[in-house]
């Protein structure tokens, strides 16, 4: 069986990079894309010259300006960011048997079995791709390659700002072992405090705990995150194959009937799929839900919905489908969501529908901010 090779590509300081393409005189200068301080603005992207002063995405602009008074504050220009992102996506799809746009500046490619096609070395080919993105589009990038999406993304973060890091098959746990548990998806402030209470600060420490201890003290979500720390993760890319369907699914470390955990998993999935819809500029008219029970019997349900790319709407419908599908009372092994019946977004918002207009602008703003973080820090709607 061929080793799975997933690449994660991140356009480095993307918003700043685009602003420098628009204003070459800003190259090498301290730039931050941020809202106005007197309007309670926040930083969405900071150049590395600014980060040296302790400024980071999500920081209040007023604080950032105190930390780095020499920083040049720039308003965001989302249309320009979307245009440059679209160019890179078009280019990457030429070399991607399976491609997933994870956000405006992050992309997954499944290169499994492509070694011969690339001359025997995926890393050498990745270097070529990276060089072409810089030369053709003026955008620097970093890249991580591993056997699953989570480890590939962490490897990419480890390679920033301009490197490439490949994790050999079987070396995932060793790579993650010394890293802070904060690098793992799903470890927010609450989970981090819980881990610190047990003096768990590295991925290796979390990975070595017994499943019984993790489940008792951190719940099913803790077991899920422990799987990431052990080097596990999904290698299934959420892609629109000929614009027919996008989907994602999770196989749990342990079969479960934990309602809170199932809802949280669905919530994470809907956030992810809705973001892919928005970056692909399409809306879905049908949602599918799949359950696999402990006895490996599948249960599926689907429903028609009004065209949407709103995660709150999709999550609400997913919960309805879960209630309809979960009729057997057995522990659940796998859960998955699919979206289909796509159509392009309307060319313009209905200017007479004020609530819808505000909602669309809010979604775009959230996408812009989240794309600059290692994790999704602003979520639309909450898991029960």
Joined together, the tokens standing for residue 201 give 């600060």
Which stretches within the chain are classed as H helix?
14-22, 48-51, 61-67, 78-93, 122-137, 149-159, 172-176, 189-197, 203-207, 211-229, 259-279, 311-325, 354-370
281 is catalytic: no
Sign, CA torsion 202/366/103/277: positive
Residues 6+ apart with CB under 8 A from 213: none
Cis peptide bond upstream of 161, omega within 30: yes
Catalytic residue among 19, 49, 100, 106: 106
Dihedral in degrees, nearest 10, Cα atoms 160, 372, 237, 121: -20
Distance of alpha carbon 293 from alpha carbon 348, whole angstroms: 44
* DSSP calls for 266-290: HHHHHHHHHHHHHHTTEEEEEEEEE
Which DSSP string do the residues of 227-268 spell out, in sequence order?
HHHTT---------GGGSEEEEEEEEEEEE--HHHHHHHHHH
For residue 87, count other CB atoms closer than 10 A to its CB.
Answer: 14
Strands 164-166 vs 141-146: parallel, antiparallel or unpaired: parallel
Please give the DSSP secondary-structure letter assigned to residue 55: -
Residue among 245, 260, 236 at smallest CA distance from 322: 260
Task: Count Cβ atoms below 10 Å from residue 283 Cβ, excluding itself.
Answer: 21
Known catalytic residues are 106
């Amino acid at each position: 069986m061929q080793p799975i090779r997933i690449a994660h590509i991140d356009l480095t300081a993307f918003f700043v990079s685009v602003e420098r393409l628009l204003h070459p005189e800003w190259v090498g200068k301290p730039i931050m894309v941020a809202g106005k301080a007197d309007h309670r603005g926040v930083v969405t992207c900071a150049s590395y010259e600014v980060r040296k002063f302790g400024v980071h995405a999500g920081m209040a602009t007023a604080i950032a300006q105190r930390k780095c008074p020499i920083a040049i504050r720039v308003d965001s220009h989302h249309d320009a960011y979307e245009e440059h992102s679209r160019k890179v996506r078009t280019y990457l799809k030429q070399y991607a048997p399976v491609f997933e746009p994870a956000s405006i500046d992050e992309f997954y490619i499944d290169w499994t079995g492509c070694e011969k096609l690339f001359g025997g070395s995926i890393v050498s080919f990745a270097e070529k791709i990276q060089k072409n993105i810089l030369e053709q589009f003026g955008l620097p990038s970093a890249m991580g390659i591993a056997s699953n999406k989570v480890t590939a993304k962490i490897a990419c973060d480890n390679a920033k700002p301009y490197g490439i890091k490949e994790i050999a098959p079987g070396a995932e746990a060793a790579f993650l072992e010394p890293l802070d548990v904060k690098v793992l998806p799903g470890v927010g402030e609450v989970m981090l405090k819980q881990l610190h209470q047990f003096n768990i600060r590295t991925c290796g420490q979390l990975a070595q705990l017994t499943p019984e201890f993790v489940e008792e003290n951190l719940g099913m979500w803790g077991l899920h995150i422990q799987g990431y720390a052990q080097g596990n993760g999904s290698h299934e890319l959420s892609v629109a194959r000929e614009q027919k369907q996008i989907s994602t699914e999770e196989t749990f470390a342990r079969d479960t009937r934990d309602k809170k955990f199932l809802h949280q998993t669905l919530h994470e999935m809907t956030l992810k799929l809705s973001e892919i819809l928005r970056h692909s500029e399409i809306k879905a008219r049908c949602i599918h839900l799949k359950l696999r029970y402990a006895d490996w019997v599948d249960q599926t349900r689907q429903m028609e919905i009004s065209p949407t790319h709103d995660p709150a709407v999709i999550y609400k419908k997913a919960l309805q489908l879960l209630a309809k599908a979960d009729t057997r009372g057995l522990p659940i092994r796998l859960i998955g969501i699919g979206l289909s019946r796509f159509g392009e977004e309307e060319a313009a918002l209905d200017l007479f529908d004020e609530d819808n207009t505000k909602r669309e602008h809010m979604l775009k703003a959230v996408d812009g901010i989240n794309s600059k973080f290692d994790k999704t820090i602003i979520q639309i709607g909450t898991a029960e």
